[in-house]
Copies of this chain bind each other. A is one copy, B any other.
Amino acid sequence: MDFSSKLLEKAVEEIALLPGIGKRTALRLALHLLKQPEEQTVHLSKALLDLKTRIVFCENCHMVSDTKICSICANVKRDKSTVCVVEDVRDVMAIENTSQYQGVYHVLGGKINPIEGIGPGQLNISSLVQKVKNGTVEEVIFALSSTMEGDTTNFYIYKQLENESVKTSTIARGIGVGDELEYADEITLGRSILHRIPFENSLKN
């Protein structure tokens, strides 16, 4: 593309570095900002900079936070003996939105993925193992997505915790609420039959 302005070209280049945004979309966004009042760009620019420079990760669970210990870990009402292991911050938000979980979290920051060069050392696994070894954790719930990488990560952590006196569990796999049986894949449907639960239990929520 032939830009008439170096400033515009630079902005488009930087925006296009974001995932899922190509040069054309980046140009559209840049020209949109040019049409808007200056405050919008100033606020956006400041919010991005603040996000990166001032945000911290909770020392305990690695969740994004404004303080050293996040609001979930700091909440005395949460059950510290149950730790839910998730891939990233969005998973914590998703589970929090259900209002069904009263334990705490442990954010790994990714999944083991040899193809992309992500090994256990780059994830927050050792701090989880240490937390369990300290003896305050009674149950570890694996809540990673059940892809090959997720299963590998689950199994790696499971092996690390094998000799500890801690219960490990995984979230239930099955047919989603409202989903049609006939469109479900065979593995999910098979597991949902194998891991069936007493009918009365399904009436509770």
Contacts and interface: CB of A to CB of B under 8 A. Distances in A.
A14 B5 CA distance: 25
A88 interface: yes
Contacts of A50: 7, 10-11
Nearest to A105: B4
B48 A4 contact: no
Interface centre among A6, A41, A47 (most CB of B within 10 A): A47
A173 to B, nearest CB: 23
A159 interface: no
Contact of A47 (B2, B10, B54, B63): B10
A117 interface: no
Interface size bucket, A side?
A: 35 or more
A169 to B, nearest CB: 24
A3 B48 contact: no
A96 B92 CA distance: 48
Given A1-B97, A4-B71, A93-B2, A33 B47 contact: no
Contact of A4 (B11, B15, B44, B65): B65
Interface string A101-115: 000000000000000
